[in-house]
A and B are shown apart, each in its own frame.
Chain A
């Protein structure tokens, strides 16, 4: 009896100390996540910086997409549309007013908007809010649908946004796009936004709302019978997804320095789909890791588009477009043979990482793994 009690106390103490350790490690990771881009900013060349910035932006949008697709189980394909709203909000409001007549040279800008100028963070947040409002409005018809219908309806709305932006000449400059958007010169802003997005999503998903959202993914009927309001929680996920995609779109506009409706075709959503499928539908850490792999991979694989000369012969296989062919094949291979993706529905937690040395050792010594560590990992699986 006594032994059992001390064992329980030991377990509780161990749990507590692990929680403290994890908390400290998370704080350190956040600090590293802010400091490293700050320090790297001047140390690396502009090409690498561009890629790393793009990685972070793609991570933000992919996280927003995973909130709906991975955690709530709704197959939404509207990310490009939400991004377009955020991007145009930044484009319209941050371009210096004196440059605007040159950009809107075919038709002058709407006089109401022509003199409003905002600092970047405000415009970005406004973009997020507008995207969220749009998501809220379309949520009423769209969230009544399921599966394929939801996919095609969200895709439709994203196309509608694009077509509307192409036609509203006085607001968005139509198909000419908006140039001269003040660009973000440093990496720090983007990475800070990424970290904030991750923290908010992690908190949301570990709250009761997050658990309800995950329950809807597992089984709608059971979730409903447990008293979870399907519509309300789907709406929370959808609006949140729209908001963060809008933020990501704003960063994307500032990253590119120019926007036009062609940037926001369905093909953009495809990138995020690849990322979340690869990282695991329903895994924040997996999404972040996969977005770095995919974005970096897309850049590294550019040599596939260049003509390759081997021993004096030009190999005809390598020409523009091969890269995207390989990426489409990659998506299908992942879906058919490796449906789980990198992490599946699980997260890469500190406990899991600390379990690795033991696991690797266990693999070599053929000893039974530490039972206690396994059970702890299971109970704390949700924590970061």
Chain B
């Protein structure tokens, strides 16, 4: 018998409660402890939210693939990296205006994601899990090495888009258009994705495949089409995240996908893998804690890339299914 109050039985309520408390505590600590002015703190909060939004977009790709194929798409971070290069070349080499160039890069990235699935993962559908993992790592390294080989290992400057970098100030907080756009684009992408998954027939098929691969097949769903579609959607979202990242951080490298890739996978795990809302939540938690921790405690900024891993360990120990995930028992 479960005697807990109703509010604690719902993971969503719990999560929201925890986040509200955490944010309140950090806010109070920041204002009282570090003596940071409120406007500066709001500024950092803004940066944190926009980084979290990018992480959320990438994390969705991980969580969707995991919910259907039960594997980490290790190459996802590198798909993100390739999308930046595609955008870079469509603007610099093919002289497209940037909106057109970004759309072209988006399409190419989505196709690339589907091709990777066909070549690296599909032949191993029935193979042991570790083989798939090795293949995924191989695909990730192939993309990194291919990018190094084709585009050279030197960092390139992402094309500057002055319109998006214009800033305006309100209430002492300096906000660039790109930060606002990041949040807006993320919300719009999420709304479209939610619509696809919950309101269309294809989305219903996706949910069916993720619940049970075999039974979905007996219901006449072509699971290969669904898997391809999932890779296309995931890669396209990673590409959108990539463009936002590129405009904001301006430098692109063949190995730049590794760290964001791992952080976003962790975000997906933190939120509860297989759960899209969880991935978004995890993305925001990872992105915001990273920025805020560095802003509040500048002395530990060298350890910035470690926070996500520490959070992963903590989550896996305390709540292995993630914040919004459901525990599945392994059958014999």
The answer to whether A and B assemble together is yes
Shortest Cβ distance from B221 into chain A, in angstroms? Answer: 25
B59-72 interface mask toward A, CB cutoff 8 Å, 1 = contact, 0 = none? 00000001000011
Are A335 and B138 in contact, with the CB atoms below 8 A?
A: yes
Q: Cβ of A266 and Cβ of B258 under 8 Å apart? A: yes
Instruction: Say yes or no: is B332 at the interface (Cβ < 8 Å to chain A).
Output: yes
A321 adjacent to B149 (CB under 8 Å): yes
Tell me if B133 and A151 are in contact (CB < 8 A): yes
> Mask for A160-174, Cβ within 8 A of B = 1, else 0?
100110110000000
> Which of B131, B133, B137 is A339 in contact with, Cβ under 8 Å?
B131
Residue in A75, A141, A153, A319 whose CB lies within 8 Å of B133: A75
In the bound complex, CA of A331 to CA of B75 (Å): 14
Closest to B128 in A: A339
B171 on the interface (CB 8 Å rule)?
A: no
Q: Within the complex, what minimum Cβ distance (angstroms) separates B103 from chain A?
A: 29
Give complex CA distance A277, B332 in Å.
Answer: 27
Interface segment, A103-111, A142-150, A195-203, A228-236? A142-150
Asked if B16 is at the interface (CB within 8 A of a chain A CB), the reply is: no
Q: Which residues of B contact A327 (CB under 8 A)?
A: 145
Q: Is A281 an interface residue (CB 8 A)?
A: yes
From B139, B262, B303, contact of A167 by CB (8 A): B303
B contact residues, range: 35 or more
Residues of A within 8 A of B320 (CB): 144-145, 149
Contacts of B71 in A (CB 8 A): 148
Q: Do A332 and B142 touch (CB < 8 A)?
A: yes
- Asked whether, in the complex, the Cβ of A159 is within 8 Å of the Cβ of B309, the reply is yes
Instruction: Give the distance to chain B from A17, nearest Cβ to Cβ, in Å.
Output: 39
Closest Cβ of chain A to B207, distance in Å, is 22
Residues of B within 8 A of A324 (CB): 141, 145, 148-149
List B residues 282-329 near A (Cβ within 8 Å): 302-303, 305-306, 308-310, 312-313, 316-317, 320
B138 contacts A332, C-beta separation under 8 Å: yes
**Smallest CB–CB gap between B80 and chain A, Å?**
16
Residues of A contacting B310 with CB < 8 Å? 160
Inter-chain CA distance A144–B306, complex, in Å, is: 21
Which chain B residues in 117-166 approach chain A with CB under 8 Å? 119-120, 123-124, 127-131, 133-135, 137-139, 141-142, 144-146, 148-150, 153
Known A160-B309, A324-B148; judge A73-B130 contact (CB<8 A). yes
B312 with A156: CB separation less than 8 A: yes
Contact yes or no, B141 A331, CB < 8 A: yes
Contact across chains for B133 and A325 when beta carbons are under 8 A apart: no
Nearest chain A CB to B66 CB, angstrom units: 8
Which of A75, A155, A221, A335 has the most chain B CB atoms closer than 10 A to its own CB?
A: A335
Is A322's beta carbon under 8 Å from chain B?
Answer: yes
User: A167 CA to B119 CA in the complex, in Å?
Assistant: 40
* Contact A321–B262 (Cβ < 8 Å): no
- Determine the distance from Cα of A243 to Cα of B64 in the docked complex, in whole angstroms: 38
A69 (CB) vs chain B CBs: closest residue: B130
A157: interface (CB < 8 Å): yes
* A269 to B: closest C-beta gap in Å: 9
B233 CB–A CB distance under 8 Å: no
CB contact under 8 A between A273 and B134, given known A322-B149, A336-B124:
yes
**A-B CB contact pairs (8 Å), 18 listed:** A75-B130, A75-B133, A148-B72, A149-B320, A152-B269, A153-B313, A156-B309, A160-B309, A160-B310, A163-B302, A164-B306, A270-B137, A321-B149, A322-B149, A324-B145, A331-B137, A331-B138, A332-B135
Complexed CA–CA distance, A325 and B143 (Å): 8
Report B-chain residues with C-beta under 8 Å of the C-beta of A267: 141
Identify B262's interface contact among A75, A144, A152, A166, CB under 8 A.
Answer: A152
Q: Is A206 located at the chain interface by the 8 A CB criterion?
A: no
How many residues on A have C-beta within 8 angstroms of the other chain's C-beta atoms? Answer: 43
Complex CA gap A77/B258 in Å reads 14
Tell me if A320 counts as interface (CB < 8 A to partner B): yes
Residues of A within 8 A of B313 (CB): 141, 153, 156
Chain A residues with CB under 8 A of B130: 69, 73, 75, 147, 281
The residue from B135, B148, B266, B316 contacting A335, defined by CB atoms under 8 A apart: B135
**Cβ contacts under 8 Å, A270 to chain B:** 137, 141
A10 within 8 A of B: no
Residue A11 interfacial (CB < 8 Å): no
Q: Which 8 pairs between the two chains have the least Cβ-Cβ distance?
A: A321-B149, A156-B309, A328-B142, A332-B138, A324-B145, A167-B302, A331-B138, A328-B141
CB pair B262–A155 under 8 Å, yes or no, is yes
CB of B297, distance to nearest CB on chain A (Å): 13
Residue in chain A with minimal CB distance to B332: A221
Q: Tell me the nearest residue of chain A to B129, going by C-beta.
A: A147
Whether B135 contacts A336 by the Cβ 8 Å rule is yes
Chain A residues near B302 (CB-CB < 8 A): 163, 166-167
Rounded to whole Å, the gap between the CB of A28 and the closest CB of chain B is 36
Contact A141 B317, CB 8 Å, known A221-B332, A328-B145, A332-B139: yes
Pair B317/A159 contact, Cβ less than 8 Å: no
| Interface flags, A259-286, vs B, CB<8A=1, else 0 | 0000000110010010001000100000
Q: Are A163 and B142 in contact (CB under 8 A)?
A: no
Residues on B with C-beta less than 8 A from A322 are 149
Say yes or no: B134 contacts A335, CB within 8 Å: yes
Q: Give every chain A residue within 8 A of B55 (Cβ-Cβ).
A: none
CA distance A155 to B148 in the complex (A): 22
Decide if B265 is an interface residue (CB 8 Å cutoff): yes
Question: A30 on the interface (CB 8 Å rule)?
Answer: no
Q: Tell me, rounded to whole Å, the shortest Cβ–Cβ distance linking B77 to chain A.
A: 11
0/1 interface trace, chain A 182-225, chain B, CB 8 Å (1 if under) = 00000000000000000000000000000000000000010000
Which residues on the B side are within 8 Å of A339 (C-beta)? 127-128, 131
- Given contacts A141-B317, A335-B131, whether A151 and B72 have CB atoms under 8 Å apart is yes
Tell me, rounded to whole Å, the shortest Cβ–Cβ distance linking B129 to chain A. Answer: 5
